[in-house]
Each structure stands twice: as C-alpha cells, then as structure tokens.
C-alpha cells in the first residue's frame, strides 16, 4: 500500500524529528537497483560535467552529513547530457556512510551495500532560477550517485578529509576553495543507471532524476574513519553523537523502470 497512498505515512526516521508527510510517495528514493530488471536505453547520451573549482565556497556540517557548497549563481559548474534535456547547475555534494564498512550507502545494486555513497546535487537552471524553486518541481533536480569502496587512498579526497576536524560539530563551517568535484567521479562515467525519484533527506520531494554510477571509487579505511569522527550534535549539547548511519531506508520501486546506459 506504500505505493498507492496519496501521502506516504509519517516517514519516521531516527535522525529526523517527528513524522514527515511526503508528497506523492510513489517515486521515493533510495531504492535497490535490480540489475537484471534495468532496461538498456540506447538513446541515453554520455554525461557531460563541466565543473569549475573556482565556484567551490565552503564545507559545513549540517547535522546530518557534511556538505561542500558551490556558488550556483551562474552556470559555472554544470551537468548536462545523459538522461537530461536541460542544463543543471551544481549546488553541493555530500556523502552518506555507515558505522562500519559493511553498510552505509543509500542505493544498493542487487541488494549489495557499499560503505558509503557520494551525492552531487544539481538543479535545472534552464527552467528555474533557484535551487529552492527547482526542488519542488518534477525533475527540477539531478543527483549523481557514486558508490565508495574501501581500498587504496583517494588522493583527491584527502583535501576534503583534512578539513573535517574543523567542522566536527553540527552547524560548523569553514572556507573551502578550489576543489574540483570531478576528481571524485569514477574513471568511467558513461555507465550508469537512471530513474525518477526523490531527495533522500528533507524535503524528500519527488523532483530528482537520479544518475547512479556503475563504477565505484576507492577510498582508504582511514579516510572513511575521519567521516565517522564527525558529530551529529552541536558543540553546546551535553551528549555528543558520532555522525554515522546517515542513510535513509530503501523505498518501494512502485513499478518504476530503471534504465541503464550500458547493455
């Protein structure tokens, strides 16, 4: 019945206070990507990312993840192609991870969990003038998902890891510049799955064209351990809670088709 209700009943989530009524409810994220049920679509084009490191501004702890924010007042860091008809502007990227390497990703592939997942969030700047507008519209957003696996150290990630101790607590922010998010993409960005879904954190709106990369990136155990040294709680709170397991539970597919850019 989760797919038929007008509003998904209170989305209780350990991290969010109180029930969340979610508009629609039949295209929620994350989901399990069942590979053999995905449909190859030869019309899907290669993704075109044009990221300008000069638009990188700050990194901050929002009490649920840490976000690297970009200046999205002009079309300087953009995403187009793939399943997208319009040009989308990068506004931020963040991660989701577990307390152990055994889980942490939001999407899964044939039920396989990864220790973490990167989300690069973009909004449709051909149709809207602000993220806040686009977030309410069908396909106003495009989010690239990249799975992280534990292995060799990721040199590009280290600059970000080194900034994390300065934002241990909720609502802390530091300047963070000249970071090229392209370094976090896998070598092959032509192989991906795409489907229509939602944000996995509030406002949970069903406005996202998801583009989930088939190829993962590798980060070291120690780099991931620094993610887990972050805190959900602000400096003033008596009880400090480590920022781990900041992923949403999987949602019903509700008959959606997942397309693949590869056969």
Does 107 contact Zn ion by CB under 5 A? no
Q: Rounded CA gap, 89 and 210, in Å?
A: 15
Instruction: Give, in degrees to the nearest 5, the angle at Cα 94 between 54 and 170.
Output: 105
Question: How would you class 121 by CB atoms within 10 Å of its CB: exposed for 0-12, middle for 13-18, buried for 19 or more?
Answer: buried
- The residue within the footprint of ligand 0VX, chosen from 89, 107, 119, 154 (CB under 6 A), is 119
**Pick 176 or 210: Cβ nearer ligand 0VX:** 210
Q: Of these partners, ligand 0VX, Zn ion, none, which one is at the site of residue 199 (CB under 5 to 8 Å by kind)? A: ligand 0VX
Q: Of these partners, ligand 0VX, Zn ion, none, which one is at the site of residue 90 (CB under 5 to 8 Å by kind)? A: none
**Pick 119 or 122: Cβ nearer Zn ion:** 119
Residue nearest to ligand 0VX (CB): 199
**Pick 21 or 43: Cβ nearer ligand 0VX:** 21
Q: Of these partners, Zn ion, ligand 0VX, none, which one is at the site of residue 228 (CB under 5 to 8 Å by kind)? A: none
Q: Rounded CA gap, 162 and 139, in Å?
A: 35
Task: Tell me which residues in 183-202 interact with Zn ion (CB under 5 A).
Answer: none
Task: Tell me which residues in 188-207 interact with ligand 0VX (CB under 6 A).
Answer: 199-201
Q: Rounded CA gap, 57 and 72, in Å?
A: 10
Are 205 and 198 in contact by the 8 Å Cβ rule? The answer is yes
**Pick 119 or 170: Cβ nearer Zn ion:** 119
Task: Tell me which residues in 111-140 interact with Zn ion (CB under 5 A).
Answer: 119
| Cβ-based neighbours of 245, under 8 Å, separated by 6 or more | 14, 97, 98, 99, 103, 104
The dihedral formed by the CA atoms of 80, 71, 200 and 3, expressed in degrees to the nearest 10: -50
Q: Which helix (H) or strand (E) holds 227?
A: helix 221-227
Closest CA relative to residue 138, chosen from 128, 146, 147: 128
Per-residue contact string for residues 128-157; x = within reach of ligand 0VX by CB under 6 A: ---------------x--------------
**Pick 57 or 158: Cβ nearer ligand 0VX:** 57
**Pick 220 or 250: Cβ nearer ligand 0VX:** 250
- Sign of the Cα torsion 198, 201, 204, 207 reads negative
Q: Shortest approach of ligand 0VX to residue 199 CB, angstroms?
A: 4
Q: Of these partners, Zn ion, ligand 0VX, none, which one is at the site of residue 121 (CB under 5 to 8 Å by kind)? A: ligand 0VX
Binding site for ligand 0VX (CB under 6 A): 119, 121, 143, 199-201
Binding site for Zn ion (CB under 5 A): 119
């Amino acid at each position: 019945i989760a797919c038929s209700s007008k509003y998904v009943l209170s989305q209780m989530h350990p991290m969010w206070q109180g029930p969340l009524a979610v508009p629609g409810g039949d295209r929620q994220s994350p989901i399990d990507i069942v590979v053999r049920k995905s449909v190859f679509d030869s019309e899907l084009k290669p993704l075109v990312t044009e990221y300008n490191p000069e638009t990188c501004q700050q990194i901050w702890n929002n009490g649920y993840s840490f976000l690297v924010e970009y200046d999205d007042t002009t079309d300087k860091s953009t995403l187009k192609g793939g399943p997208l008809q319009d040009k989308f502007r990068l506004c931020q990227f963040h991660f989701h991870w577990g307390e152990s390497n055994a889980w942490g990703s939001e999407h899964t592939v044939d039920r396989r969990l990864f220790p973490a997942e990167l989300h690069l969030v973009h909004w449709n700047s051909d149709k809207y003038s602000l993220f806040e507008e686009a977030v309410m519209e069908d396909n106003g957003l495009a989010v690239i998902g990249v799975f992280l696996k534990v292995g060799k150290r990721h040199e590009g990630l280290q600059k970000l890891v080194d900034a994390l101790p300065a934002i241990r607590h909720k609502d802390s922010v530091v300047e963070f510049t000249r970071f090229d998010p392209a370094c976090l993409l896998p070598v092959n960005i032509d192989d991906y799955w795409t489907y229509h879904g939602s944000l996995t954190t509030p406002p949970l709106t069903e406005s996202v064209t998801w583009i989930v990369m088939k190829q993962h990136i590798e980060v070291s155990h120690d780099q991931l351990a620094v993610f887990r040294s972050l805190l959900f709680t602000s400096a003033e709170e008596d009880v400090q809670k480590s920022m781990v397991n900041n992923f949403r539970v999987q949602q019903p597919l509700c008959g959606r088709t997942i397309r693949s850019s590869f056969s």
